[in-house]
Chains A and B, each alone.
Chain A
Amino acid sequence: MPIPLLEIRDLHVAVGEKEIIRGIDLTIERGTVHALMGPNGSGKSTLSLALMGHPKYTVTIGDMLFEGRSILDMKTEERSLAGMFLCFQYPSAVPGVSVANFLRNTLMARHKGQAPLKPARFKQLLEESIAKLKMDPSVLGRYVNDGFSGGEKKRLEILQALVLQPTLSILDETDSGLDIDALRIIAQGIEAQRGPERAILLITHYQRVLNYVKPDVVHVMLHGRIVKQGGFELAQELEARGYDPLIKQLVEA
C-alpha cells in the first residue's frame, strides 16, 4: 500500500473548553476527490481549520498525517509549504497588499534558496489562471479581499490554488453563495486541481457542486463525527431527502 496523502486518526478538536470534533478517522489517497458533507454546525469548517493549524483550534486527542508525517507540531506556514492548501469559507482582507504582490510573496516562500519564478513565467501563470476563472485582470492590482464581493473572494481563493498548485486542496464551502455560472467556473477551477499525485477534500453543505466535481468518496459529518460513507449516490440521496432522515435514523440507533 502506498502511503496515503492524508490520514486522520481518531481526531478530537476543541475550541477553548468545548469539544467540536469528537473522533474522526479519514484517509485520503493520492488521485482521489473526497466530499465531506453535513449540516451547519456539524464541525466541517472546524476540521478544515484544524488541518491548517488555526491557533484557536486545539487537537486534544488523535493525529493528522500528511504524506505519512504527523503535522501536529508543524506551524501553519510549514503545512502550507508542505503542499496543503485551504480555500477559506471566510477569507480575510489584507488591505494595502495587492493580489499580485501577495501571490509573488507566497510563491517566493516556496522557492527559498532557489531562484524564484522568472517574472515572465509568473506573469504568464497569472494570466492563464485569471483567464481560466474569467476574472478581470485588474484584480491583480486590487488589495487582497479588500472590498471584494462574496463571489470575487471565492474566485481569488481558487486563483491562489491554481498558482500555488498544492498537493492537497481543502475547499471549505467554496461553492456556497454562487450563482450557477459562477459555480461552473469555480468547479472548473477545482477540477484543474485533480492529478494522479494530488487530492481534493471538498467540504460542502449542498450536493450541486458535486455534479461538476465528481467525488470518489462521500463522507457525512454530524455532531463532530463522520457517521456515514459512500459513493456519489450518497450525496444524491442527501440532496433528495435532506439530512433529517439520517439524523433520525442515528437517534433511533
Chain B
Amino acid sequence: MSQLVIDTGIDRSLVERLSAGEPAWLQHARLAALERLNAMPQPDDRTVGWRRTALDGLDLSPPMPVGPEYTLTISDADGKQGVRATTLADASLSGDGTLQAMLEHAHIGRSVSRYAALTESAWQAGIFIYIPAGVEVSEPISIELHEGSYPRIALIAGANSQATVVETHREAARLSSGLVDMLVCGGASLRYAHVQECGPSTAVFSHQRAVLERDARLITLNFGIGGRLARNDVEVELQGRGAESEMLGLVFAEGAQEFDYHTLQGHRSPDTRSDLLFKNALDDRSHSSYTGVIVIDRGAQRSDAYQANRNILLSEGARADTEPKLEIEADDVRCTHGATVGPIDEEQLFYASSRGLAPDDAARLIVEGFFQEVFEKFGDARVTEALRGRVSPHLGRIGAGS
C-alpha cells in the first residue's frame, strides 16, 4: 500500500501540515481518512462500479491541494437573524460538540468512497454554515466555488429552522473532489441544491451526506450539466422518527460526458418517508450510470420509500445504466421503485410535430417538460427559475451533434 501513498502525493506529513492549528480530534479524523484512502486502490475500468465508465484520457490521480476560491452570499436580513458562515477550520476551534460529532462520524456511511476519504484528509479552510434554531432564512444562501481541489462544506440547520442553500461548482481544473456534510435538526426544513457547471475537462466528485433528526425534512437537488466526468454520492440517513427526504436529480449530458450518480435512502427509524426522482437526458456519446439503494432497517416500521430513475436517450451513441436496489428488513413498509430507459416517446413527438414543430424543437420542448417535474418538486422557484435558464442553452443544441 505504500506505493499508493507515493502515487497520490497526499501523505501523512502533508496532512499534518494541513491540519496545523486544528484541534486534535480533527487531525485524527484527517489521518483516519488518509488510512482509508490508502487502503483503497485507484479505480480503473475493472473496479466494481466503474466498469462501464469510460475513463480513457482521464487522469484521476489526486492533485496537490489548492483553494478553495469562492463567493458566499448571505442576505443582510438573514445575517441579522444570526445565520453565519465561517471557515470550517475556525468553527472547529469553537469547541462546539455538535460539529465535532458530525465531522468525526460522518464517514460511517454506506459507501466508502475513495474520493470522500481523499477530501476528508486533504481539505483546506472549508466552509461552515450555521442556521440557528427557529430561524426562517429569507433568501437562498449561495456558495459559488470557482477553484479548489478539495472543497469541504458543513451545514447545520438548527431545530425548526428553514433554509435554502445553493452550492454552485464552476471549477475548471483537472480534478475537484467536494464533500458536504449536513445535519438537519429536529423539525428543521432544509432545501439544498448542488449545481455542477464545471469545465469540460474537469473530473468532479461530490460526496453529500445528510443526517435527519426527528421530523426533519430535507430536499436535495443534484443538477448536473458540466464536467467531463461527474461522480456524485448522495446519502441521506433518516435517523429520527418522522423524518422526510426528497432527493432530486437532473442531468443533461452531451459530448462524451460521464455521469455516475449513487444514492442512499437510509430508513433507520419508524415512520420515515423518502422519495427520489433522478432524471437524465443523454445526448451524443454521453453516458449515465445510476445506482441507488433504499435500505429499510429492521424496526423501521411504517417506512414509506419511493425511488425512480428515468433516462431519455437522445442520440444513437448515448448510453444509460441503472441499478435501483432495495434492501428491506421490516415488513410494515411501502416501498416501490422504478427505472426506465428509452428515447423520447414517439406519440409525444408526433403530437408536437402535428402542431408544426420541427423534430429538434419538439425534442427540446419535451425534454424541458421532462425536467419540469424535478423543478416543481424542489419547490423553490427562486432557485429553479435560474437553473432552467442554465440548462436551456444546452437543450437548444439537441440534435446538433458534437
Q: Do chains A and B touch in the complex (CB under 8 A)?
A: no
Q: Which residues of B contact A (CB under 8 A)?
A: none
Q: Which residues of A contact B (CB under 8 A)?
A: none
